[in-house]
Amino acid sequence: AQTVTQSQPEMSVQEAETVTLSCTYDTSESNYYLFWYKQPPSRQMILVIRQEAYKQQNATENRFSVNFQKAAKSFSLKISDSQLGDTAMYFCALRYGGSQGNLIFGKGTKLSVKP
Amino acid sequence: DTEVTQTPKHLVMGMTNKKSLKCEQHMGHRAMYWYKQKAKKPPELMFVYSYEKLSINESVPSRFSPECPNSSLLNLHLHALQPEDSALYLCAAGMNTEAFFGQGTRLTVV
């Protein structure tokens, strides 16, 4: 079975500081993808960053970066220079099985950025 | 701006009504998905269409009926719903890697 675990239900950070959201996963697949999605109160699920399992290099998108530890099955998200607009629910997700594959979501971490 | 458009944004329907949710994408992705999301929970997969054919049905009750008329459109037909079906319904379109989501339809069944 494929599982995704986010152990931090809620987190808060001061504006301009750095925060790290944790995610662990379990899969027996060798070819899979990992994602972080952001869902603000406007409710649209927005892709933040993705990581291909076969790539050793950690993905980076502007202020967002991941720490991908394949052996440990860990995939954390670091947000640098936090902004008020980063306030949202963050979901870690795992995908396998090509375009027909399901996205397995973690339960989410609610991040609040405080001024 | 989203490249996956869902209509309507909000829908209130009675338990005897028939309504449809619509999803449209013009990104050329050949896989399209319906997810159901309850408050403070992650999305749960309902259906997957691949090349306009239903490939996954996650044991969804028959009161939900999906339809994929062409590669750009995905519908979800609703009939005889229950109050517990009230949720956010998300459509997504994807390829081998990421899936792109629409803004969702907030459905309330009264």
Q: How many CB atoms lie within 10 A of CB A99?
A: 20
CATH code of the domain in which A61 resides: 2.60.40.10
Question: SS3 for A38-54, per residue?
Answer: EECCCCCCEEEEEEECC
Ranking A33-42, A62-71, A93-102, B55-64 by mean pLDDT, the lowest is A93-102
Chain A residues with CB within 8 Å of chain B CB: 33, 35, 37, 42-47, 50, 52, 91, 95, 98-100, 102-103, 105-108
- For chain B, what are the domain ranges? 4-109
Could you tell me which residues come within 8 angstroms of residue B3 by beta carbon, excluding any fewer than 6 positions away?
Answer: B25, B26, B27, B93, B100
Higher pLDDT, A22 or B26: A22
Cβ separation of A108 and B92 shorter than 8 Å? no
What does the pLDDT read at residue A86?
Answer: 97
The mean pLDDT of B27-38, rounded to a whole number, is 92
What does the pLDDT read at residue A98?
Answer: 63
Q: Which domain holds residue A56?
A: 3-114
Longest alpha-carbon distance in chain B: 39
Residues of B in contact with A41 (CB under 8 A): none
Which of A44, A52, A107 is nearest residue B101 as measured by Cβ atoms?
A44
What does the pLDDT read at residue B1?
Answer: 47
Any CB–CB contact under 8 A between B97 and chain A? Answer: yes
Q: What domain count does chain A have?
A: 1
Q: Which residues pair with A91 in a beta bridge?
A: A37
CATH superfamily membership of B4-109:
Immunoglobulins (2.60.40.10)
The mean pLDDT of A64-74, rounded to a whole number, is 96
Place of tokens 């701006």: B1
Cβ separation of B31 and A100 shorter than 8 Å? yes
